[in-house]
Amino acid sequence: MRLLLVTLFLGFSICTSFAEDGKMVIDKEAWKNTTKDLNYSPEEKKVEETKQVSKSPSAAPDLSGFKYLAYAVIGIIIVGLLILIIKNIRPVTEVAQVRVEATSLEDAEENLPMVALTKIYQEALDLFDYKSALRIKFLMVLQTMIDAEMIIWKKRKTNENYLLELSDGTILAHFKTAVNTFDDVWYGEAAVTETQYVGIAESLDQLKNKISGGQE
């Protein structure tokens, strides 16, 4: 439309000029005002568009790298949790369904979950070997803990190791007392009298009953 108006204006101006003096004279000022908003050059238009593009805000940064980093962090956390869970799973101590009588105190200490202690215990009492009898009675307490899955038995574990495994506060307190009493007697040089034996054996039997829920 603008171009049409300009064309008509030119035609009118030319005709006017011819009408005035027979010569084609164009009003420069009128031409300038009429054509000031027109752009005839495609190259100039492209340059102007390029300038506008260059002035536009820069594109948003590529954040895809952060996405993969987040995946990696999540994966590490999951693996760490799995390792922690596996470490805290308590292995089940293998216990014989039918225990075979131990042949000696050494046999009992080496294969505690697999042997019965009744025979060697009675043999110690028959010989008035109260020190060995207390040792076997204490092994019976450990055996009851194994059956109740309170501890994980291993040959080289100490009583202190078993204390750390107990989670029941009541059992822990009674077992700690039994350990202290037993250690004093077992590692002491003096022989154990029948009176000492009876008192300690009774406390160990009470502890066994607490562990097994009073069923013994």
Shared domain check, 196 and 104 = yes
Shared domain check, 110 and 207 = yes
Lowest model confidence (mean pLDDT) among 53-57, 70-74, 96-100, 127-131: 53-57
What confidence tier does 18 reach under pLDDT thresholds 50, 70, 90?
very low
- Of 19, 37, 55, which residue is a domain's last? 55
Contact status, residue 99 vs residue 114, Cβ threshold 8 Å: yes
Residue 70: inside a domain: no
Decide: pTM greater than 0.85. no
Residue 92: inside a domain: no
Q: Over the stretch 170-207, which tens digit does the pLDDT of each residue have?
A: 999 999 999 999 999 898 888 899 999 999 999 999 99
Shared domain check, 117 and 50 = no
Shared domain check, 111 and 174 = yes
What total of structural domains would you count in the chain? Answer: 2
Q: Write down the mean pLDDT value for the chain.
A: 77
Residue 109: inside a domain: yes
Shared domain check, 184 and 117 = yes
Residue 19 above 50 pLDDT? no
Residue 86: inside a domain: no
Q: Over the stretch 195-205, which tens digit does the pLDDT of each residue have?
A: 999 999 999 99
Q: How far, CA to CA in Å, does 64 sit from each of 61, 70, 166? A: 9, 10, 50
Q: Is 178 exposed, middle or buried (0-12, 13-18, 19+ CB in 10 A)?
A: buried
Q: Containing domain of residue 205, as a range?
A: 100-211
Angstrom distance (rounded) from CA 93 to CA 18: 121
